[in-house]
Amino acid sequence: MIEIKNEIQNLRKELRRHNHNYYVLNKPGISDYDFDILLKKLQKLEEENPQFDDPNSPTKRVGDDRNIEFKQVKHKYPMLSLGNTYNIEELREFDARIKKLTDQKYKYVCELKYDGTAISLTYKNGKFVQ
């Protein structure tokens, strides 16, 4: 159990360092894929060993470099995301989840992702308002 606890602590420390490099320094040290692999490994260990729970674990927090003066607003429409997907089967699973949410026809729109940022803009009569 000591080895597992140490592995969990080491993964948390490593992931925090990578989050800091990515969100604060804007200098990622590893690829998103490699980060996701480490995060999934930590998630699995935490699920299997709940006695080592930590509410500040990188599995329960999101990196954040927003300015404290940034005004948050409620979105008109939810900003849903595909998340991290690495193969066609994960895309099919995503589509199956969406089908369960609605009985209406829908289509997908793919847009360029600015890594680390999500934004929803509102225009009225062709003018930016929010």
Is residue 99 part of the annotated active site? The answer reads no
**HEC-encoded secondary structure of 32-66:** HHHHHHHHHHHHHHHHHCHHHCCCCCHHHCCCCCC
Closest listed residue to residue 19, CA positions, set 5, 4, 36: 36
**R_g over Cα of the chain:** 19
> Which entry of 5, 113, 124, 127 is annotated as an active-site residue?
113
Q: What whole-number distance in Å separates Cα of residue 24 and Cα of residue 92?
A: 34
Phi, psi of 35 (to 5 degrees): -60, -45
Q: Which residues are identified as catalytic?
A: 113
